Chain A
Amino acid sequence: MKRNLTCIICPRGCSLTVELENGNANVTGNACSKGAEYGTQECLCPVRTVTSVLRVSNRRDTMVSVKTAVAVKKDDIFRVMEVLKNTLVTAPVEIGDVLLQDVFGADIIATKAVK
């Protein structure tokens, strides 16, 4: 199987071609080694950091922004969102507080303080 990707590591945006065979990826079109790494990861197990907001139950119209502490599998993005959608948090919240643990492999941490 062959996939064409645009490398996002630097502004150059190389057009990568990734050949997938027996769980191995062969990347061509990359100008640097980071491009090869990106191409491999993106084809074998693409991951993304998810950022969103959670409602703060004890403050009026207040949201706290959050992120996954590590990138989650791309296929799990909407599953993570579903969990976040149904989560309320209580202020005070500090930046870095772990608000949820192990949501599809990642802790959900606050990126904003709510006093």
Chain B
Amino acid sequence: MTQYDIIVIGGGPAGMAAAVAAYDSGVKNIAVLDREEDLGGILRQCIHNGFGLHKLGEELTGPEYAARYAQQVAERNIKVYYEAAVTNVTADKIVTVQSREGLLKFQAKAVILAMGCRERSRGALNICGTRPAGIYSAGTAQKLINCEGYMVGKRAVILGSGDIGLIMARRLSLEGAKVEAVCELMPYSGGLTRNIVQCLEDFDIPLYLSTTVAEIHGKGRLEGVTIARVDANRRVMEETKRYIPCDTLLLSVGLIPENELTKCAGIAISALTNGAEVDENRQTKVPGIFACGNVLHVHDLVDYVSDEAEIAGCGAAAFVKGELNANKTISVRAEGGVRYVLPQMVHTDCGHDVSLFMRVAAPTGKVRLVVKIGDAVIAKAVKLKTAPGEMEKITVKADKLAACTGTITVCLEEMA
């Protein structure tokens, strides 16, 4: 069995940054396994710009951002397996890979899970009606258009106002399709303001909030959808039903971390993040198995994926070198107004500052983000505005952390 110090599963932004960080931390025997023919993951089809402002200080397109990291991987002696789909990972860190060379088995000292996420499909939504052609998840349409050069339809409705849905509304418009509407089940958009302005307003595409697709019509190809407003319980209000003829329905209704392999390794999945629970090094509860990027929790910006992956990469390298010796663990919990916080565990004796990342439960105005241990505040920050679509971050200083016992809680406090 081939041995590696670190195996990184997934060669998207998370996997690449993790591998590079691990290598630069002094562990050189690293393999990255990716199921595609190229590194970059989903960034390869995200041809729009807006990537890298935080991390690299310049505005790049997805393929450019991916290429920067692919270049860094190439400059190091990191082994990359292409078209290599991992079919199993054990808690003992034996990794089974199906590739054109055969069914390979590798033994690793540490594994970094970086498999990313998938889009929620129509089936999970239980939309009524028929099952014609012309219904795509936004990402699938993005791949067909941007990578393969095929147009999916002429007249579209988009369900879901997450960023991918908004980006695709613009993309379809640019390619000459008419986007009739973007419908959002929630009373607020899940996308960035910038995308609402530049993807919808620029093209006069209406955004209907608290609205869903109630029914799908058409036998062969999609012929139209019935949209309707929903009440506070998200049930369709019959009297608001309205028919829109269209040949294409794009779904942008949420991303789900792809944790099938995580489960293979016996790692429990959090119902809040749909990912593993991790500590400040992004180590899961199975020693030596780390996770980062969208497989851990869905990020809003790739820049933060890269940051998180570097933490995981350094953590995995430290694990291999036997340097992860902190052992005073306390848990971190989301409370009032905060939907989840990550990491879910922290070693108080880790000796460095720890940043906590979180998503709020609903949009707010000016609030104070407060980190407490018991009643004592150990970190706080004022936010002028928060939204569930945007990740918030707050850092707890090493000295404050060292004194902690019990459970760390994070909450929002309203401000006048």
Contact = CB atoms under 8 A, between A and B. Distances in A.
Interface size class of A (residues with CB under 8 A): 20 to 34
Contacts of A52: 47, 174
Interface in A60-103: 61-63, 65-67, 74, 77-78, 81, 95
A98 B48 CA distance: 18
Given A11-B193, A11-B385, A11-B387, A61 B148 contact: yes
Interface string B295-310: 0000000000000000
B88 interface: no
B103 interface: no
Given A11-B390, A31-B384, A63-B149, A111 B47 contact: yes
Q: Which has the most chain B C-beta neighbours within 10 Å: A55, A63, A113?
A: A63
Contact of A53 (B64, B67, B149, B202): B149
Contact of B61 (A5, A11, A31, A67): A67
A43 to B, nearest CB: 13
Nearest to A63: B149
Contacts of B149: 53, 55, 61-63
A48 B67 contact: no
A49 interface: yes
Contacts of A111: 47, 60-61, 63-64
Contacts of B194: 8
Interface string B82-121: 0000000000000000000000000000000000000000
A95 B47 contact: no
Contacts of A6: 193, 196-197
B385 A65 contact: no
Contacts, number: 71
A105 interface: no
Contacts of A77: 174, 202
B67 A113 contact: yes
A13 B384 CA distance: 10
Interface in B45-76: 47-49, 59-64, 67
Nearest to A113: B67
A65 B198 contact: no
A6 B191 CA distance: 14
A86 to B, nearest CB: 13
A12 to B, nearest CB: 5
A98 to B, nearest CB: 15
Interface string B247-282: 000000000000000000000000000000000000
Given A13-B385, A48-B198, A111-B63, A65 B193 contact: no
A65 B148 contact: no
A51 B44 CA distance: 13
Interface of A: 5-8, 11-13, 31, 48-53, 55, 61-63, 65-67, 74, 77-78, 81, 95, 111-113
Interface of B: 44, 47-49, 59-64, 67, 145-149, 174-175, 192-194, 196-198, 202, 384-385, 387, 390
14 contacts: A8-B194, A13-B193, A48-B198, A48-B202, A51-B47, A51-B49, A51-B61, A53-B145, A65-B47, A65-B63, A74-B202, A77-B174, A95-B63, A111-B63
Considering the complex of A and B, which 9 residue pairs feature the smallest CB-CB distances, nearest first? A8-B194, A65-B47, A13-B193, A112-B63, A111-B61, A63-B149, A111-B64, A12-B385, A111-B63
